[in-house]
Amino acid sequence: MSIPIVFIHYGDSDYLQYSLLQAKRSNKGKDIILIGDESNNKYPFVKHFNVNESSSMKDFAKVYKHMNFNSHDYELFCIQRWFILRDFMITHNVEQCYYQDSDVMLYEDIEKEDIAGFDFGFCGGISAGISFINNVAALDSFCSFITNCYTQEELRRQLENMYQSIIATIPHGGICDMVFVNLYCNNTNPEKIYDLSMIRDDAVFDLNVNLIDEYEEWHGRKKIYYTNKGVFCKNLALDRFIRFKALHFQGSAKSFMRYFLEKSLEECTNPIVFDYSTCQWHEIYDLHFN
Average pLDDT over residues 73-78: 95
Average of per-residue pLDDT values in the chain: 93
Quick one: pLDDT at residue 174? 93
* 122 phi, psi to nearest 5 deg: -125, 165
Which class is 5-195 in CATH? alpha beta
pLDDT for residue 265 is more than 80? no
Q: Of all helices (H) and strands (E), which one includes residue 280? A: strand 280-283
Largest CA distance in the chain: 62
Confidence of residue 124 (pLDDT cuts 50, 70, 90): confident
Alpha carbons within 13 angstroms on the beta-carbon side of residue 108 total 21
What are the structural domain ranges in the chain? 5-195, 203-283
Confidence of residue 92 (pLDDT cuts 50, 70, 90): very high
User: How far is 91 from 276, CA to CA, in rounded Å?
Assistant: 43
User: How far is 220 from 159, CA to CA, in rounded Å?
Assistant: 33
* Helix, strand or coil, per DSSP, at residue 9: coil
Q: What is the CA radius of gyration of the chain?
A: 19
Quick one: pLDDT at residue 38? 96
Indicate the range of 146-150, 182-186, 208-212, 213-217 predicted with least confidence.
182-186
How do residues 6-23 score in pLDDT, each as one tens digit?
A: 999 999 999 999 999 999
User: How far is 47 from 89, CA to CA, in rounded Å?
Assistant: 14
User: How far is 81 from 85, CA to CA, in rounded Å?
Assistant: 6
* Helix, strand or coil, per DSSP, at residue 86: helix
pLDDT for residue 217 is more than 90? yes
Percent of the chain clearing pLDDT 70 (strictly above): 96
Quick one: pLDDT at residue 284? 87
Average pLDDT over residues 72-98: 96
Q: Which residue has the higher pLDDT, 106 or 126?
A: 106
pLDDT for residue 288 is more than 80? no
Confidence of residue 171 (pLDDT cuts 50, 70, 90): confident
User: How far is 259 from 119, CA to CA, in rounded Å?
Assistant: 34
pLDDT for residue 42 is more than 60? yes
- Residues sharing a CB contact under 8 Å with residue 201, sequence separation 6 or more, in sequence order: none
Average pLDDT over residues 9-38: 96
pLDDT for residue 264 is more than 70? no
Percent of the chain clearing pLDDT 90 (strictly above): 83
Asked if residues 40 and 48 have their Cβ atoms less than 8 Å apart, the reply is yes
Q: Determine how many CB atoms are found less than 10 A away from the CB of residue 170.
A: 10
User: How far is 281 from 158, CA to CA, in rounded Å?
Assistant: 48
Indicate the range of 102-106, 111-115, 179-183, 282-286 predicted with least confidence.
282-286
Quick one: pLDDT at residue 126? 79
Average pLDDT over residues 199-206: 97
Among the listed residues 59, 79, 81, 83, the one whose alpha carbon sits nearest the alpha carbon of residue 70: 79
